[in-house]
Amino acid sequence: MLSENEINRVLVVTAHPDDADFGCAGTVALFADKGVEVTYLLVTDGDAGGNERTLDNTGMAELRRAEQLAAAKAVGVTDVRFLGYSDGTVVPSLELRRDISRVIRQVRPDLVITHHPDRNYQFIAPSHPDHRAVGGAALDAVYPDARNPYAFPELIKEEGLEAWTVREVWLNGGSTPNHWVDVTDSMDRKLAALLSHVSQVSHVEGFTDFVRSRFAAWAEQAGFGEGRYAEGFQVVPTA
């Protein structure tokens, strides 16, 4: 597993606005505190989301992009990119693999954080089909696509993007995490990021207490004890 001083650039690949904030915003805030460069790559604009909608899909997409930019700022991320795929219909296509590979070659991260591609039978919410599709495509982009100069040769020939090898992937949303990050010191920023997604959470009664209780339970599972908060990942070495 990579040590802290081996992580200088991180790419977070998610399906929708708010996914990074639920899954890893506390960890991201801690990375940002240490000067690590973090990029968010969102495959969709979340245009099929929202509660009690008054906006059409175009308006919802614009709103959710704005919410994600505000959420990213709350944890120190300024590089946020959107691929513009349609919310709810993502599949792990060659096109998506190429688009993620492109950003991997642009950003050249040491670490990629993304969704777990397998269904979680203990807690279904992380297993949205877009999440699983993005997680699978991101893993395929990490290996073999982004590191293989002969995969998507147009990325080199037309865009000058040389192959890049990601050293490690952290998956979130799975049922078997094997790495826990104590995010107690960044929990308030994680909550601020989540509360930036007004269209998604403003109607949820007791939302802040719900978030705190979930991540406190994970801290206890991790062995950090009471009064702590944690985010969990499955670490996938790539070398």
Is the Cβ–Cβ distance between 10 and 130 less than 8 Å? no
Rounded to whole angstroms, the Cα distance separating 162 from 125 reads: 37
Nearest to 209 by CA among 186, 187, 225, 231: 187
Is the Cβ–Cβ distance between 119 and 135 less than 8 Å? no
pLDDT of residue 53: 62
> Could you tell me what percent of the chain has a pLDDT over 90?
90
Q: In the chain, how many domains are there?
A: 1
Give CA angle at 149 (144, 153), nearest 5°. Answer: 105
> Could you tell me what percent of the chain has a pLDDT over 70?
99
- List the domain range (segments joined by +) for residue 176: 4-237
Q: Residue 115 has what DSSP assignment?
A: E
| Contacts of 25 by beta carbon, 8 Å cutoff, 6+ apart | 71, 74, 75, 186, 189, 190, 193, 194
Nearest to 8 by CA among 139, 108, 147, 145: 108
pLDDT of residue 51: 65
pLDDT tens figures, 56-114:
777 899 999 999 999 999 999 999 999 999 999 999 999 999 999 999 999 999 999 99
Give CA angle at 39 (100, 148), nearest 5°. Answer: 35
Looking at the predicted structure, is the pLDDT value of residue 126 above 90? no
Nearest to 40 by CA among 97, 91, 92, 80: 80
Q: Look up the CATH number of the domain holding residue 143.
A: 3.40.50.10320
